[in-house]
């Protein structure tokens, strides 16, 4: 029997703002995200990518349903949900409160959903935090305060916190922001390794050439899904060029594709 999708959203709608500025940002989306695959969500600024990710993570009020491995997400208690579904916010969003913490303690925060109320971290928690910091090459900064780090260094620590959760589904909003090209390549290798272990990675990306390396693409425009399917499909490429008003063109390069700005 096929395993259920990692995430399945039905008739997902989100309205944001208040009073006269309130408007529907996502309109009745239906979306299936395969388990054990890497899906990249792409589209122009304001298309609703972050809003979709936040709604999938149950971080904002929404209408419609979201199933996690076939189970309604809203039926899980918050700790169960936090163990199953890990979240990396857009760079800097809501993280200033962690600036005083050491890098090591930030990674340990990823273990909170595994810990009993007020219980100290276990040996397993410490091992998971260390392994995650080593995976993102952030271990050497473990005694430094998060607030002292550069944007890219900070991003790698926050990625380690997400990895420390050891969730089966990982949602990442612009995980490559601030990373230099070698660390972007490391991130892709890491995602490939996670997927090979059976994990599911869903990432909002602005780096279209890198998004084209994902297994699946979700192309968004104006709060709707313009296309979803394997990233190798010509239809995916045509839709991508169209949602960016043909200001990009997608070209083959070896076994991959690159998106280049058109003059
Ligand atoms: N709190 C809010 N109140 C009102 N409108 C909002 C709010 N947050 C986001 N929006 C609007 O919702 C739309 C979708 O925003 P969202 O951040 O999901 O887009 P995005 O595709 O992630 O964009 P970007 O590529 O610029 O990060 C935008 O038009 C944005 O202005």
The DSSP code sequence of 168-187 is SEEEEESTTTT--HHHHHHH
Of 239, 235, 238, 231, the C-alpha closest to 257 is 231
Q: How many CA atoms lie within 13 A of 262 on its CB side?
A: 10
**Residue 74's pLDDT is what?**
87
Rounded to whole angstroms, the Cα distance separating 5 from 215 reads: 14
Q: Which atom of ligand 1 is nearest to the CA of 22?
A: 4
Which of 16, 18, 219, 244, when mutated, tests ligand 1's pocket best, judged by the most ligand atoms within 8 Å of its CB?
Answer: 16
Measured from the Cβ of residue 37, the count of other Cβ atoms closer than 10 Å reads 18
Q: How far apart are CA 260 and CA 237, in angstroms?
A: 12
List, chain by chain if needed, residues with CB within 6 Å of any ligand 1 atom: 16-17, 25, 43, 45-51
**Local confidence pLDDT in tens for the 263 residues of the chain:** 577 899 999 999 999 988 888 999 999 999 999 999 999 999 999 999 999 999 999 999 999 999 999 999 988 998 999 999 999 988 766 566 788 899 999 999 999 999 988 889 999 999 999 999 999 999 999 999 999 999 999 999 999 999 999 999 999 999 998 899 999 999 999 999 999 999 999 999 999 999 999 999 999 999 999 999 999 999 999 999 999 999 999 999 998 999 999 98
Helix (H, G, I), strand (E, B) or coil at 167: coil
Rg (CA), the chain: 18
CATH code reported for the domain at 1-69+169-175+199-263: 3.40.50.300
Among 46, 174, 221, 224, which is best to mutate for testing ligand 1, by the most ligand atoms less than 8 A from CB?
Answer: 46
**Model confidence, pTM:** 0.94
Atom of ligand 1 nearest to the CA of 43: 21
Is the CA virtual torsion 24, 14, 29, 229 positive or negative?
A: positive
**DSSP line for 111-161:** TGGGSPTTPPP-HHHHHHHHHHHHHTT-GGGTTSBGGGS-HHHHHHHHHHH
| DSSP class per residue in 185-223 | HHHHHHHHHHHHTT-EEEEE-S-HHHHTTSSEEEEEETT
Q: Where are the alpha helices (DSSP H) in 13-145?
A: 49-56, 78-84, 103-109, 123-135
Cα 62 to Cα 126: distance, rounded to the nearest angstrom: 36
pLDDT at 94: 59
């Amino acid at each position: 029997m096929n395993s259920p999708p990692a995430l399945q959203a039905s008739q997902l709608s989100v309205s944001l703002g208040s009073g006269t500025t309130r408007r529907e940002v996502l309109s009745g989306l239906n979306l299936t995200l395969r388990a054990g695959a890497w899906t990249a969500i792409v589209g122009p600024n304001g298309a609703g990518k972050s809003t979709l990710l936040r709604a999938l993570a149950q971080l904002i009020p929404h209408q419609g349903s979201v199933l996690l491995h076939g189970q309604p997400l809203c039926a899980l208690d918050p700790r169960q949900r936090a163990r199953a579904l890990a979240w990396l916010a857009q760079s800097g969003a809501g993280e200033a409160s962690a600036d005083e913490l050491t890098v090591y303690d930030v990674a340990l925060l990823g273990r909170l959903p595994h810990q009993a109320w007020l219980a100290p971290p276990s040996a397993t928690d410490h091992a998971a935090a260390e392994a995650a910091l080593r995976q993102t090459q952030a271990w050497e900064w473990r005694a430094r305060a998060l607030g002292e780090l550069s944007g890219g260094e900070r991003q790698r620590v926050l990625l380690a916190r997400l990895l420390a959760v050891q969730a089966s589904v990982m949602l990442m909003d612009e995980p490559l922001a601030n990373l230099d090209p070698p660390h972007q390549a490391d991130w892709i290798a890491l995602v490939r390794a996670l997927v090979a272990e059976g994990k599911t990675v869903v990432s909002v990306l602005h780096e279209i050439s890198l998004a084209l390396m994902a297994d699946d693409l979700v192309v968004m425009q104006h709060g709707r899904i313009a296309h979803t399917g394997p990233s190798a499909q010509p239809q995916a490429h045509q839709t991508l060029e169209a949602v960016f008003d043909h200001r990009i063109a997608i070209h083959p390069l070896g076994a991959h594709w690159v998106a280049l700005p058109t003059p």
